[in-house]
Structure 1
Amino acid sequence: MLDVSIRKQLDHFELDVSFQAHDEIIVLAGSSGAGKTSILQAIGGLTDPDSGTITLNGKSFFEGTKTSLPARSRNIGYLFQDYALFPHMTVERNIHYGIHKKTSAETGFIIEQLLTVLGISHLLNKYPHQISGGEKQRVALARALATEPELLLLDEPLSALDEETREECQDELLRLHELWKIPFLIVTHSRTEAEKLGDRVLHLKKGLLVKETHGTMKEIPVQ
Structure 2
Amino acid sequence: MLAVTIQKKLPYFQLDVDFTVQKEIVVLFGPSGAGKTTILNSVAGLIQPDSGTIRLNDTIFFETGQKPLPTRKRKLGYLFQDYALFPHMTVEKNILYGVKKEREAVSSAFVVQLLTVLGIRHLLPKYPHQISGGEKQRVALARALAGKPELLLLDEPLSALDAKTRQQCQDELLELHRLWQIPVLLVTHDEKEAEKLGNRILTINQGKIVDK
Pairwise TM-score range, normalised by the shorter structure: over 0.9
TM-score w.r.t. the length of structure 1 is: 0.93
**SS state at 1:68 partner:** coil
Q: What's the Cα RMSD here?
A: 1.0
Structure 2 partner of 1:172 = 172
Give the Cα separation in 2 of the matches to 1:102 and 1:151: 14
2:4 alignment partner in structure 1: 4
Q: Distance in 2 between matches of 1:103 and 1:55?
A: 21
Q: Which residue of 2 aligns with 1:155?
A: 155
Counterpart contact for 1:60–1:67, Cα < 8 Å: no
Distance 1:78 1:55 in 2: 16
Residues of 2 paired with 1:68 and 1:168: CA distance?
37
Q: Deviations over 1:6-63 (max 9, x none)?
A: 0001110010000001000000001010000000000001010000000001110000
**Counterpart of 1:101?**
102
Partner of 2:128: 128
1:1-223 to 2 correspondences below 5 Å: 1-99=1-99, 100-101=101-102, 106-212=106-212
Match of 1:218 in 2: none
Q: Residue 5 of structure 1 contacts residue 53 of structure 1 at CA under 8 Å; is this kept in 2? A: yes
Give 1:150's aligned amino acid. E
User: C-alpha deviations, 1:85-129, integer Å up to 9, x for none?
Assistant: 00000000000003223566x432221111111110000000001
1:103, 1:43 → 2: CA distance? 22
* Structure 2 residue aligned with 1:215: none
**Equivalent residue letter for 2:111:** I
CA distance in 1, matches of 2:108, 2:187: 30
**Where does structure 2 lack aligned partners over 5 or more consecutive residues?**
none
8 Å contact kept, 2:98–2:144 = no
Q: Which stretches of structure 1, 4 residues or longer, exceed 6 Å deviation after superposition?
A: none
Return the alpha-carbon distance in structure 2 between the equivalents of residues 60 and 102 of structure 1.
Answer: 18
Q: Is the 8 A contact 2:3 2:55 kept in 1?
A: yes
